Amino acid sequence: MWDAIRPSIHTRRRACESRPQCTLGSFTGGPAGLSLGLTSGSVQFSGATSSQTATYSIAGTASTLGSVSGTYTSAVTAEFGSIPNVTVAVTGQIYSGLGTWNTNSGGNWGTISGTGQNAFGSNWGDNQGSPGLDQNYTNTDTATFGSALTSGTAVVNTNGANISLKALTFDKRACGRARGLCRASSSGVRLCV
């Protein structure tokens, strides 16, 4: 299962102000497997009122991980005259949420809006993201601490992230039976080899 892009797009149509009424059609195009649909507001805009808002969200399942981009287009019909089509360009990252720690040391778990050393997915495998952070996918992501840590102790800081995981796995080969402990707490994860 892939986590999908979930931003909302707000479209304001001032072009209808000089016309009694115009209507947005369905949006077509965009990244493969993802659609743009109305979540609140109306597709009909009246020219006699002030600016109006229709909120659209992206939904669906992407077939590949990594960067995606595309443009959605909607034809606009007006009661009198013509209005240009509405286009919405989107870009995003598709990630699996099935994370394997990929750093031979400690570091930060990462947060969705993190930057620098706390950047989303920076210490995890390619296109895996920082697992357990998306509130729309609670109890689905997994975090595995395997063989990336080759010796010593590493502390993985959660930095206040609210993490929800389906599974948290420690590779026993990396932790050893008597040599060290692997444990998780509310402030972080401690890995000992």
pLDDT score for 179: 44
pLDDT in tens, 27-45: 999 988 888 888 888 888 7
Q: Which residues contact 127 (CB under 8 A, 6 or more apart)?
A: 65, 66, 93, 94, 95, 96, 121
- CATH 2.60.40 residue ranges in the chain? 8-94
pLDDT score for 7: 39
Residue closest to 181 by CA, chosen among 101, 145, 190: 190
pLDDT score for 187: 56
Q: Are 122 and 55 in contact (CB under 8 A)?
A: no
- Positions in the chain whose pLDDT score sits under 70: 1-20, 47-50, 80-82, 172-193
Q: Are 53 and 82 in contact (CB under 8 A)?
A: no
Is the pTM higher than 0.75? no
Count of C-beta atoms within a 10 Å radius of residue 138: 13
Centroid of chain to Cα 6: 6
pLDDT score for 143: 93
Question: Does domain 8-94 bear CATH number 2.60.40?
Answer: yes
